[in-house]
């Protein structure tokens, strides 16, 4: 297997809408972190007046999560990362982690994480509070609930078990009668 290039690990919208070219796409697992809807979005799924909620990763030593690792062509990787830096400028920073590729080795990968205490950190909110925001928020990239539903669908298609995301999805469906 060819393994040159840089791996980028996606765990949110990057799974279903990468928006960049890649040479290989593999389901992958990241250990020691959990996916949480604890980041405010005032530029994609909300507005400065009414920020939505999107995912980031929080450190949780006993947790793991599934996402997708994309192998980037070395020639285009720098411009891809610069474009993602701009797309994810609301609090996210490039971080290097180790991910386990499904059916393959552990490799180091770049991941965008909005760390605790960043300017868009929503802190620890109840599920009810997160859902109440998600069902109302919309921004330039679309409604917040579409983001939640597309992410939940994408995780199901990876065979991922994510109680946090699936509980929010179920509560949003009840709230919206969908
Ligand atoms: C992702 O899907 O990997 C992602 C999520 C939030 C910000 C940047 C990337």
What is the Cα–Cα distance from 153 to 62, expressed in whole angstroms?
A: 25
Cα–Cα distance between 131 and 47 in angstroms, integer? 17
* Helix, strand, coil percent content, the chain, rounded in steps of 5: 30, 35, 35
- The pLDDT, as a whole number, for residue 1 is 44
**In this structure, is residue 2 part of a structural domain?**
no
Q: Which atom of ligand 1 is nearest to the CA of 13?
A: 2
Write out the chain's pLDDT in tens, 178 residues.
445 779 999 999 999 999 999 999 999 999 999 999 999 999 999 999 999 999 999 999 999 999 999 999 999 999 999 999 998 788 999 999 999 999 889 999 999 999 999 999 999 999 999 999 999 999 999 999 999 999 999 999 999 999 999 999 999 999 998 8
**Do the domain assignments include residue 83?**
yes
> In angstroms, rounded to a whole number, what is the distance separating the alpha carbons of residues 41 and 170?
21
Contacts of 149 (CB under 8 A, 6+ apart): 169, 172
In a domain, 47, yes or no: yes
Report H helices in 54-143.
77-87, 127-134
Domain assignment present for 46 = yes
How much distance in Å is there from the Cα of 103 to the middle of ligand 1?
Answer: 23
Residues with CB under 6 A from ligand 1: 10-15, 55, 88, 92, 112
**54 CA closest ligand 1 atom index:** 6
Residues written for the chain: 178
Does residue 24 belong to any structural domain of this protein?
yes
SS3 162: coil
Domain span at residue 165 reads 7-176
Q: At residue 6, what are phi and psi to the nearest 5 degrees?
A: -110, 135
Beta pairing, strands 142-143 & 24-41: unpaired
Buried b (16+ CB within 10 A) or exposed e, 102-118: eeeeebebbbbbbeeee
Residues with a known catalytic role: 88
Number of domains in the chain: 1
What is the predicted pLDDT for the residue at 2?
A: 47
CA–centroid distance, residue 112 to ligand 1 (Å): 6
Q: Is residue 165 part of a domain?
A: yes
Q: Is residue 33 part of a domain?
A: yes
pLDDT for the residue 6? 95
pLDDT reported for residue 3: 53
Q: Is residue 1 part of a domain?
A: no
Mutate to test the pocket of ligand 1, among 7, 8, 9, 13 (most ligand atoms within 8 A of CB): 13
Say if strands 6-10 and 106-113 run parallel, antiparallel, or are unpaired: parallel
State residue 115's pLDDT score.
96
The CATH number assigned to the domain holding 36 equals: 3.10.490.10
Pick the residue whose CA is nearest to atom 9 on ligand 1.
Answer: 112
pTM of the model: 0.94
* pLDDT in the model for residue 103: 87
């Amino acid at each position: 297997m060819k393994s040159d290039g840089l791996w980028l690990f996606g765990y949110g919208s990057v799974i279903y809408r990468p928006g960049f070219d890649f040479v290989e796409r593999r389901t992958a697992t990241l250990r020691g972190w959990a996916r949480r809807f604890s980041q405010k979005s005032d530029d994609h799924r909300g507005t400065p007046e009414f920020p939505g909620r999107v995912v980031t990763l929080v450190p949780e030593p006993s947790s793991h999560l599934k996402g997708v690792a994309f192998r980037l062509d070395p020639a285009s990787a720098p411009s891809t990362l610069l474009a993602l830096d701009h797309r994810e400028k609301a609090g996210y920073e490039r971080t290097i982690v180790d991910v386990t590729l499904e059916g393959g080795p552990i490799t180091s990968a770049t991941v965008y994480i909005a760390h605790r205490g960043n300017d868009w950190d929503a802190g620890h909110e109840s599920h009810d509070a997160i859902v109440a925001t998600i069902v109302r928020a919309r921004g330039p990239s679309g409604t917040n609930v579409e983001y939640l539903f597309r992410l939940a669908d994408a995780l199901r298609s990876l065979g991922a078990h994510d109680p946090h995301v699936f509980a929010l999805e179920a509560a949003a469906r009840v709230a919206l009668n969908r």
